[in-house]
Amino acid sequence: MVSFKNYLSLVKFSHTIFALPFALFGFFLGTFDKIAPIDWSIFLLVLLDMVWARNAAMAFNRYLDRHIDSQNERTIIRDIPSGKITPVAAFIFVLFNVLAFLATTYFINRLTFYLAPVALLVILGYSYTKRYTALCHLVLGLGLSLAPIGAYLAVVGEFDWVPVLLSFAVLFWVSGFDIIYALQDENFDKQMKLKSIPVLIGAKGALVLSKILHLFSVLFLISVGIRGEFSWIYWIGFGVFSSLLFYQHTIVKFNDLSKVNLAFFTTNGVASVLFGLLSILDLLVRM
């Protein structure tokens, strides 16, 4: 029997730390713009939707890639190739989370419910992209970038420039660090005829492109701070986030990937949490 712990491992639940702070930022930004008290029922629904969406996306990726993962020395220990979770159990888990996601958006507002299938198309469709295009990293970034704008729409029910700019920042941030992560599988991906930026332009070129994408992320965060008229609290968070992005590029070299996991999880996780907390604090102080 599959345990709850196995499912948490399947979806790498700890990696929720990447998008969740930005989703919460989007929620509080919407509350601030709406000039209304915090709606804790919507807050709970937003949290649930984050969980359902990420669970569905990650479990589907593991289900779809199970044969590929079983041939990769780095991924053969994952839950499906190692036999901890059967493919059928994983697929049922995907369906449950997809239905839960749709049901939750129904109780938020009409716009989020109508846009929910589009979000699912992006986050589930990502799993196919590395079979066809090296731009798969950007599709992953697009999937996570839906978190802040989705949370904002859950509160306000209409689009605005600041959350859109924030979503672009997330898109380029995630795309950049996913390219770094993909460096580990460059040779394997070539053997399997899979697509990625490292396969397309090599490790050295991939790191250069990752830096460019992270520069775009920083520029969009600057535009968020200016257009949103944030205070010094936001700018401290921005400084921490930008510094950690710069730091990860100093510890990963095209000929030395020993610190990829430090750059991928620890550095980006800390950057996301600290930026999210300080940005939300800025809004709470002004509310």
- Mean per-residue pLDDT over the chain, rounded: 94
Please state which architecture CATH assigns to domain 9-286: Orthogonal Bundle (1.10)
User: Which amino acid is residue 79, in one-letter code?
Assistant: D
Of the CA atoms within 13 Å of residue 88, those in its CB half-sphere come to 1
User: Which amino acid is residue 189, in one-letter code?
Assistant: D
Q: What pLDDT shows up at residue 65?
A: 96
Q: Are 122 and 143 in contact (CB under 8 A)?
A: yes
Q: What pLDDT shows up at residue 111?
A: 96
DSSP-based helix, strand, coil % in the chain, nearest 5: 80, 0, 20
Q: Which of 194, 75, 66, 71 is nearest to 137 (CA)?
A: 194
* Burial degree of 230 (CB within 10 A; 0-12, 13-18, 19+): buried
b/e map of 56-88 (b: 16 or more CB within 10 Å)?
A: bbbbbbbbbbbebbeebeebeebbbbeebbeee
Place of tokens 């036999």: 83
Q: What pLDDT shows up at residue 188?
A: 95
**pLDDT, tens only, 155-177:** 999 999 999 999 999 999 999 99
pTM of the prediction?
A: 0.95
Q: What pLDDT shows up at residue 167?
A: 98
CA 150 – CA 133 distance, rounded (Å): 26
**pLDDT, tens only, 102-139:** 999 999 999 999 999 999 999 999 999 999 999 999 99
Q: Which of 173, 169, 178, 137 is nearest to 264 (CA)?
A: 178
Cβ partners under 8 Å of residue 255, min gap 6? 203
- Six-digit token string for 215: 């520069």
**pLDDT, tens only, 63-97:** 999 999 999 999 999 999 999 999 999 999 999 99
Q: What pLDDT shows up at residue 1?
A: 63
Helical packing angle, 161-182 and 20-34, nearest 10° = 180
Q: Are 221 and 238 in contact (CB under 8 A)?
A: yes
Cβ partners under 8 Å of residue 171, min gap 6? 138, 141, 142, 144, 145, 217
- Six-digit token string for 226: 């200016």
User: Which amino acid is residue 133, in one-letter code?
Assistant: T
**pLDDT, tens only, 6-49:** 777 787 777 778 899 999 999 999 999 998 899 999 999 999 99
